[in-house]
Amino acid sequence: MFNAIFGFIFEQMHLHWGEKDDHGSEHVIDGKIFSGEIHLVHFNSKYGDFDTAANHRDGLVVVAFFIQAKGDKKNKMFAKITDQIPNARELHAKSFLAADCLKWMSTQELDKHYFMYHGSLTTPPYSEAVTWIIYRKPIHVSKQQIAAFRKLRAADNIHQITKNRRQLQTPHKRLTVIFAGKP
Ligand SMILES: [Zn+2]
């Protein structure tokens, strides 16, 4: 008897931010909005690829971390990403990130203190295919580190992407949110 083993495959990581440090996250926890939000998008391997998986309710898992900007103290681990932003400002510009550029994740307690709910992508086509895993504790960065993202150029290569968060949505049905607390 052969049993296929399925899992979730990492597809891409992207970030959301706002014009000011007091708004930028797409999720709001007990009324608290953070400066930004990191999304790590994964698809269910049983569907073969991201686009196919996005058509299924159990197709995607997005892991989210909040970013909170405060003061001038640079987050050195997160700087492995933000220090490269000036090299990638122009449309189609490329920069290379160090292999340990996601090490800031190690400062999180990854096995607890996260919320889970079933919802949609926050960008078109807004597919209802996402199991969200949202960590409660934000990543703390300097004000300059979040400001660096606002200087990235938009698709016209002229305007800057000063904000890219989706407006808060009212769920059309009651959401079931699970919080993984202390064991
Ligand atoms: Zn996103």
Give me ligand 1 centre to Cα 2, in Å. 36
* Cα–Cα distance list, 66 to 15, 33, 63 (Å): 10, 9, 10
pLDDT of residue 183: 57
Write the pLDDT tens digit of every residue in 115-165.
999 998 888 888 899 999 999 999 999 999 999 999 999 999 999 999 998
pLDDT of residue 4: 65
Kindly tell me if the per-residue pLDDT of 6 is higher than 80: no
Give me ligand 1 centre to Cα 134, in Å. 12
pLDDT of residue 144: 98
Give the 3-state secondary structure of residue 67: strand
More confident residue, 161 or 2: 161
* 124 contact partners, CB below 8 Å, separation of at least 6: none
DSSP class per residue in 90-143 = STT------TTTTGGGGGS-TTSSEEEEEE--SSTT--S-EEEEEESSPEEE-H
- Domains for the chain: give ranges and CATH numbers: 8-165 (3.10.200.10)
pLDDT of residue 11: 96
**How many Cβ atoms are within 10 Å of 1's Cβ, its own excluded?**
2
Write the pLDDT tens digit of every residue in 44-88.
999 999 999 999 999 999 999 999 999 999 999 999 999 999 999
Kindly tell me if the per-residue pLDDT of 2 is higher than 60: no
Give me ligand 1 centre to Cα 7, in Å. 21
Write the pLDDT tens digit of every residue in 168-179.
777 777 788 888
Q: What angle do CA 38, 43, 47 make, to 5 degrees?
A: 165
Ion ligand 1, residue ranges at CB < 5 A? 39, 122
Candidate from 3-7, 96-100, 118-122, 123-127 with smallest mean pLDDT: 3-7
